[in-house]
Amino acid sequence: MRVTELRYAQHIGRAFKVRWIVDGRSKVPDTGAASILASKGIEVIKPDAILSPPYPRNNVELEPWPVSDRDVAPEVLDPCYVVGAIYSPPGGIPQIQHMTNTIVCPSLPQPMLDQVTDNTDEEIERVKEAIIRAHCMDSYQEKLPRFFEITRPGWNYPLEYGTPVRRKNKSLSYQLILLLDQLFPEATTRHLSENVKFQVMLKHSDKLMQFQHHAAFVLSSRTPVASPFSKGERDINSDLMPIPDIHPLSPFLHVKRLTNYSQEEFYGVSSSKAFYPHTVFIHNNRPKLRSSDEQFSAITLIKAFSLAVAYAKLCKKTGDGDLERPIVLQIVHNNRNKYHLGVFQLNTLDMTGSTKNIFWSHPVEMLYDTCSFKGAEATLEGYNPKIFSLLKAFHLQ
């Protein structure tokens, strides 16, 4: 790139504002024409003396136009903190713990870990085949977003076409669910819902908050997932693992505070009264993930909490307070090869009470290192079989 000398650079908007201020302060100069005409005996008169007056205006009352819904001003509601689908908490898991009144366990429940088994050679090959098929063998093509590097200013990056991230994630999750159903035929009686949207409102002390989220897949079963703890054990763990202090940060840091929002609540799973939420698959479809592992785990927690609250309020008709029977669900959150698995137990809808909700969190792991074409051949490197072993344990619950 040729380096040229910059000369006489101007900001057009700034120059226009300066010119406007200067010309606005200027006054019309006296040219002396009036005195010259008076010395010659020519009378100078005002324009109002020779111009005819304007036509009189007749005030006619017109009928008003019919008012449509778009012309009506929106109703101003009470301020509400709206947590949307793209929200990423800057405070990580501690911030979401205060928002959802949840304690976090650093590992999955022991009864679930006891059911984790090693993968057979056939299972490993089938999972590898599913990964390659989702990431390399999909013929769907669309224009991909561009990425610009700050270290290369002015560089014109070419347009790229390929399979978007959202399609890769969805294809891989669907193939893994089919493989799990083939391995465990007793789980085929469950109900699988796709593109589930849920929206629910909840009070946090004197504040109102709303959760607007969606899930790629929701697996529901006729029997609820068993709680790993009894009520007495929940109280003991609540005392041993208190919610960390984040003062002076607010639990609603970077959350939109709106006065115009939809008050509708819904849980988008059909036949939800006969089925219980079992496993939720959530996809992070951003082409480049800029959040840390802690923020990635916090997103898992807040989406598991919002789906459990939507099911409790809209399907079980639970009021604000402690639940008679806790709601337990499993959640799988991934972005391409990054996976985070957890188990959430909803014990209460009181966000400031002594009873706490519980979230068992497995550390974030990579399903594989790279999956791309090398030498015109689809190649998968660094496969981690532990993720599929945990998914099998989830499916057995």
pLDDT, tens digit (0-9, with 9 covering 90-100), for 194-224: 999 999 999 998 899 999 999 999 999 999 9
- Cα 276 from Cα 283, distance rounded (Å): 21
- Classified as helix, coil or strand, 307 is helix
What are phi and psi for residue 262, nearest 5 degrees? -85, 130
Q: Which of 6-15, 89-98, 124-133, 201-210 has the lowest mean pLDDT?
A: 6-15
> What is the pTM assigned to this prediction?
0.79
At residue 14 the predicted structure's pLDDT band, cuts being 50, 70 and 90, is: confident
Strand pairing category for 338-348 and 322-335: antiparallel
**Taking the alpha carbons of 350, 351, 352, 356 in that order, is the dihedral positive or negative?**
positive
Name beta bridge partners: 277: 220
pLDDT in tens, 20-68: 888 888 887 888 888 888 888 888 888 778 887 766 666 666 666 666 6
